[in-house]
Chains A and B, each alone.
Chain A
């Protein structure tokens, strides 16, 4: 069964600190993996998208990594800001799936002053 698992479920860090969020997936055949940021009461917004051949992708203070062999991805946030408080969702697409993306349950990040 195609699944995406994320950890931790929630995380609290102090402003200015770094953190890393994890994503494991069993989706096959793999097409691409995305990380989304979802602010409370808003729709998800894309941060990065990586295909099989990409190991890392950065978007400002956000850096995503992908290990397609172990089917793991991580999202590293550098020098966190209060505005980083949100849910971070890992999404995997299977080849030929057309529209059916597989979403993780997300990691809820709280950045405290």
Chain B
């Protein structure tokens, strides 16, 4: 079946612009996660959704970052007023339950470059 998909695969934007990144999880997966992978760094947790609610937003690096999930499916990660330090690969993952116990399936990521 279809895996986790993300769009766009690459995004180049100018500093100060807003960007929206999209994640389509595996159908039926209730949990959805966003991570950031900067060059030479490990994956950094940003936020997760259980259904449409986000119990843990502690990983969002600043108030310029927000995310929503509608219909228990598609999620968008929005970065406002982008900065050069936002340049990274943004990965989305989904699982049929909480990631502590269930397998996470990752999408291919969106490579964001802020110029």
Contacts and interface: CB of A to CB of B under 8 A. Distances in A.
Interface of A: 4, 31-32, 41-46, 49, 89, 93-101, 103-106
A103 B100 contact: no
B99 interface: yes
A42 B92 CA distance: 11
Nearest to B31: A99
Nearest to B35: A103
B100 A97 contact: yes
B99 A98 contact: yes
Interface string B82-115: 0000000001010000111101101111000000
Interface residues of B, number: 28
A111 to B, nearest CB: 21
A93 B99 contact: yes
Interface of B: 4, 31, 33, 35, 40-45, 48, 50, 55-56, 58-59, 91, 93, 98-101, 103-104, 106-109
- Please give me the 3 A-B residue pairs with the lowest Cβ-Cβ distance, nearest first: A43-B106, A99-B48, A103-B42
Given A41-B108, A41-B109, 11 more contacts: A4-B42, A43-B93, A43-B107, A46-B103, A89-B42, A95-B100, A99-B50, A99-B99, A100-B45, A104-B42, A105-B41
